[in-house]
Structure 1
Amino acid sequence: MVVAYHRPTKAIIDTTAITENIKNEIAHLPSETFLFAVVKANGYGHGAVQTAQAAKEGGAVGFCVATIDEAIELREAGINEPLLILGVVNVHDIPLLAEYDFSFPVASMDWLVEADTYLKENPIKTSLKVHVKVDTGMGRIGFLTPEEVRQAVLWLEDHPSFDWEGIFTHFSTADQADTTYWETQHQRFKEVLTVLPYLPTYIHTGNSATSLWHKEAVGNMVRFGIAMYGLNPSGHTLKEPFSLKPALSLVSELIQVKLLEKGAGIGYGETYITPRQEWIGTVPIGYADGWLRKMQGFSILVEGEPCEIVGRVCMDQLMIRLPRAFAVGTTVTLIGENHGKRITMQDVADQLETIHYEVACTLSARVPREYKS
């Protein structure tokens, strides 16, 4: 998708907010804890390379991504710190993993056996950095029992092509007030550690939520994700232990303002009909940009005044009801601050009945990202 630079709609990313969030998290963590910044999915929609650079300034010592391609993007942008891929990789991509010095998860013995066969036919000159993934209750990827993990570690020790660098799990309810299941997962992981012959360099259980609200978790590394962008992992549920500064604002402008008479239909399907004479403004953003049709009825800001989206959101434009005439070119804020009033990404998520993670990642590539510091 081409980036639409030649229109006023854009996402503005405050990289100093990301740096500040990282610094505050490091101050909050136990000393000598490694912080890896999670910049997968294009930095949760904020831009992977730019957010990685901002996180590095804040003190991040490594980075996490979801795919090999995301990791390559960072390497080729000059990010030389440790890079951990979080998703399962294909055995046939081993040459790339070695060439770019990536770390990656091992989640099953089947993968290890297949990789060993591949390496016998396609030897490499360096060892592969692996993190053993333990499924303590997420049901996604990973070894299930302590004995399975122990056997995998012993296998790795007998195969010099592999460097056992880390072990980790992922908590599914670290952002909830009820800690019962979190404690179950935590205990399962601790049981795994007791059967190992020794511990690797990195032990990590902490996503953003775990690192904010469960500092007692076992480990010496955290994978700091959504919170680095200034967003509370729990939504409304838990109060963050320190202030998180949102990094992203979404803005546009009025491209047309018109006075419509009573009874005028607005948008596809005529889902809104003016009940009286009303000022209607058009804004160049739509569902192709990630501003979804369900946003109809939500209010965005013009000169600090909430203006309701009327009619269905179109692919490229939407219409809002204005309290009075505004000049064409007046700034419209969809996320962020405008004349002392604020719309948060959580507000948008509430309207969509989802989480702000999804809102950030849904903003399409057509929306330019502009960086300020």
Structure 2
Amino acid sequence: MAVGWHRPTRLLIDTQAIKANVENERQRMPQGSVLFAVVKANGYGHGAVETARAAKEGGASGFCVALLDEAIELRQAGITEPILILSVVDPAYIPSLLMYGISVTVATREWLVEAAEQLKEESYEQPLNVHIKVDTGMGRIGFTSPQATKEAALFIKNNPNFHLEGIFTHCSTADLKDSTYFDQQTARFKENLDQLSELPRYVHISNSATALWHPDNVGNMIRFGVAMYGLNPSGRSLPEPYPLQPALTLISSLIQVKELLPGEGIGYGKTYTTNQREWVGTIPIGYADGWLRHLQGFSVLVNGYPCEIIGRICMDQCMIRLPKQVPVGTKVTLIGEDQGQTITMQMVAEKLGTINYEVACTFSQRIPREYTNKIGNSKWSKEVTHMLETYPLLSVADKVRPVGKT
């Protein structure tokens, strides 16, 4: 997908906020624990490589991803810390796992048997690092009984081509006020740990929610995900134990401003009709960018003033009702702060009837990511940098300027 760097719409990612969120969590961690930053799904839409580097500056000891390709991206970007793939990888890709030094999740005995056969076929200098996944009540992947976990650990121990690096589970209700099911999952995980003759290097149950609201839980590793980006895992259900700093701002600018007479229809399906003479502004962002159609009726900020999205959001554009005539090129804040007013990712999520995770992951690659530390320094995403280097005669600076520059 082409990056839309010749239009004003862009995501501003504050790497200092990511670093600070990691540092704050590390200060709360039990002694001897480590933090792995979760940068799957392109760093929850924030950019995997750049957020990984920011998390490393904050003290992250390793990284978690969901796909082999995501792990390889980090390695090719020069990330040398441990990387764990949290999902299942086909044993056919074991050569790549070993070549890049990537740890992988084990969820079934069948996978172990197939992987052992794959490892026999060629001679490898290093064993394959694996983490046993225990399903304590999520219903996704993992071993479902202490006996099955014990047998898997013995299989790994008796095969020199494997190295049991970790064991983990995932709690489904750590972000709820009622901890009954969470406590049940924790107890089940402890039963599985009791089956092991010795514990591996990494024992982890803590995702962001567990780390925030159950900091003294079992384990010595935290998988710090959505909270690293400044988002509350519970939405609004539970208060944050310390201030999380949102890392993402979404901005654009008006590309046309017009005054319409009463009775004029706006957008596909004419779902909005002007009631009086109204100033209408058009913003170059639409559902192809992840600014979804259900956001009709939501408000964005223009000069600190909330402006309602009127009419259906189009694929590439949307329209807003302005309080008065403003110049073309006026900044529009879709997520973030403007003159003392703020639109949060959580507010967008509530309008869409979803969670802030999904909103962050929905923004497409059409929107350039620009990275800043809020003190005037900024850099472009690798896609934009590549285009600037390839086509230097294009006057990009007149189209989209980095933060802090005029």
Q: TM-score, normalised by structure 1?
A: 0.99
Residue aligning to 2:9: 9
| Equivalent runs, 1:310-329 vs 2, <5 Å | 310-329=310-329
Residue aligning to 1:250: 250
Counterpart amino acid of 2:109? M
How far 1:118 sits from its partner (Å)? 1.7
| Identity %, equivalent residues | 62
| Equivalent runs, 1:175-214 vs 2, <5 Å | 175-214=175-214
Structure 2: distance between partners of 1:117 and 1:74:
28
Deviations 1:335-369 (A, max 9, x none): 00011100000000000000000000000000000
For structure 1, the residue ranges without an aligned partner over 5 or more in a row are: none
How far 1:122 sits from its partner (Å)? 3.1
Structure 1: distance between partners of 2:58 and 2:289:
30
| Partner SS, residue 205 of structure 2 | strand
How far 1:194 sits from its partner (Å)? 1.1
Structure 1: distance between partners of 2:71 and 2:18:
20
Residue aligning to 2:164: 164
Bigger shift: 210-219 or 10-19? 210-219
How far 1:305 sits from its partner (Å)? 0.3
Structure 1: distance between partners of 2:38 and 2:302:
34
What is the aligned-residue RMSD (CA, Å)? 0.6
Q: Are the counterparts in 1 of residues 206 and 223 from structure 2 also a CA contact under 8 Å?
A: yes
Deviations 1:186-222 (A, max 9, x none): 0000111111110000000000000000112110000
| Partner SS, residue 78 of structure 1 | coil
Structure 2: distance between partners of 1:66 and 1:123:
27
Counterpart amino acid of 2:267? G
Residue aligning to 1:366: 366
Counterpart amino acid of 1:279? W
Structure 2: distance between partners of 1:332 and 1:169:
42
- Between Structure 1 and Structure 2, how many residues are aligned? 373
Residue aligning to 2:331: 331
Counterpart amino acid of 1:212? L
Deviations 1:86-110 (A, max 9, x none): 1100000000000000011101100
Structure 2: distance between partners of 1:286 and 1:339:
24
Structure 2: distance between partners of 1:109 and 1:367:
42
Structure 1: distance between partners of 2:32 and 2:257:
57
How far 1:117 sits from its partner (Å)? 1.6
The yes-or-no answer on 1:48 pairing with 2:48 is yes
| Equivalent runs, 1:69-218 vs 2, <5 Å | 69-218=69-218
| Partner SS, residue 206 of structure 1 | coil
Residue aligning to 2:19: 19
Deviations 1:151-202 (A, max 9, x none): 1111111100000000000000000001000000000001111111100000
Counterpart amino acid of 1:79? I
Q: Are the counterparts in 1 of residues 30 and 216 from structure 2 also a CA contact under 8 Å?
A: no
How far 1:274 sits from its partner (Å)? 0.2
Structure 1: distance between partners of 2:276 and 2:147:
72
Counterpart amino acid of 2:260? L
Deviations 1:14-61 (A, max 9, x none): 000000000000011112210000000000000000000000000001
For structure 2, the residue ranges without an aligned partner over 5 or more in a row are: 374-406
Residue aligning to 1:297: 297
The yes-or-no answer on 1:29 pairing with 2:32 is no
How far 1:312 sits from its partner (Å)? 0.3
Residue aligning to 2:384: none
Structure 1: distance between partners of 2:49 and 2:298:
32
Residue aligning to 2:277: 277
Counterpart amino acid of 1:234? S
Structure 2: distance between partners of 1:310 and 1:193:
55
Structure 1: distance between partners of 2:161 and 2:6:
51
Counterpart amino acid of 1:255? I
